[in-house]
Amino acid sequence: MPVRNRHQIQLFLIAIFSIFGLAACDAQKAQAPSDELITETKSIEVYPHAKSVRLFIEDRPLNDDDFFGMGNVDGVELTSEQRMMFEKAIFRQIIVQRPESGEGAYEEACFIPHHFFRYFNELGEMVGEIEICFCCDGGLASPALIEPADDQWVEYDIATIKKLVQSMDLPTDVNCNE
C-alpha cells in the first residue's frame, strides 16, 4: 500500500474515532445533570490486623494548659459487635462525576475531636486511631485508611457512631462549647 493511501486511512480512522468519542461524551453528559456531585460508596477494611479497639473520651473541662482531660484513661474496650457496627459506619466515597461549577464535597468544620477509637495489636501497641468530633460531625484516621486523592475520601456515618457511643452509656456532647 502506498504511503499516501496509508496516511489517508489513518486520517479517516482518527476522524471516525473522534466523532464516536465526542458522541460518547455527549451521551454521558446527558445521563446525569452536570451540577451534581455523584459518588460511589465502597467499604474499607479498618486496621484489619488490630486485635482490639478501645474508646477514649476527653470528657474533662479545658484545664489551665489548654488541654482536655480523660476521665477513664484506660478507655472502654469495644465488643466484637460494637467494633463491627463502628467499622461499618466508615466507608470510602469515590467521585464518579464532579459538578461543572467545580464545587467539591469538602466542608469546613471545627474538628476538635474528643472521641478516640484506638486500635491495638496483640502486643498492646497502638496501630491506628480514628478521631471523631460530634460537635462538627467529622472524623479522621491516623494512619490514613486510604491513599489521599482528589477523587475519594473517607466518610464517617456520625449518626450511627453517635448511637453506638450512646448505647455504651457514654457521652457524645463533650466540650463542644469550649
Whether 136 has a pLDDT exceeding 90, the answer reads no
Q: What is the mean pLDDT of residues 41-59?
A: 93
Contact 174, 116 (CB under 8 A): no
Task: Assess whether 54 and 97 both reside in one domain.
Answer: yes
The per-residue b/e assignment along 50-86, b for 16 or more CB within 10 angstroms, e otherwise, is: beebbbbbbbeeeeeeeebeeeeeebeebeeebbebb
pLDDT band at 75 (very low <50, low <70, confident <90, very high): very high
Q: Look up the domain containing 48 and give its range.
A: 38-167
Classify residue 68: in a domain, yes or no.
Answer: yes
Look at residues 142, 92, 135 and name the one whose alpha carbon lies nearest to residue 117.
Answer: 142
Q: What one-letter code names the amino acid at 146? A: I
Query: Do residues 25 and 81 share a domain?
Result: no
At 97, the pLDDT band (50, 70, 90 cuts) reads: confident
Query: Is the CB of residue 157 less than 8 Å from the CB of residue 95?
Result: no
Residue 75 maps to a domain = yes
pLDDT at 177: 73
Residue 2 has pLDDT above 60, yes or no: no
pLDDT score of 78 more than 90? yes
| Average pLDDT over every residue of 22-44 | 58
| Residues in CB range of 60: below 8 A, 6 or more apart | 68, 69, 70, 71
One domain, residues 14 and 100: no
- The least confident of 68-82, 100-114, 137-151 is 100-114
Give the Cα separation of 139 and 143 in Å (integer).
13
Residue 151 has pLDDT above 80, yes or no: yes
Mean pLDDT along residues 108-113: 72
Q: Considering the domain boundaries, does residue 123 fall inside one?
A: yes
Q: Which residues contact 172 (CB under 8 A, 6 or more apart)?
A: 115, 134, 162, 165, 166
Query: Domain count of the chain?
Result: 2
110 or 40, which is more confident?
Answer: 40
Residue 149 is assigned to a structural domain of this protein: yes
pLDDT at 110 over 50: yes
- Inform me whether the pLDDT recorded for 50 exceeds 50: yes
Cis peptide before 113 (omega within 30 of 0): no
Which is higher by pLDDT, 173 or 103? 173
- 52 and 26 in a common domain: no
pLDDT bin (cut points 50, 70, 90) of residue 37 is: confident
Q: What is the mean pLDDT of residues 152-173?
A: 93
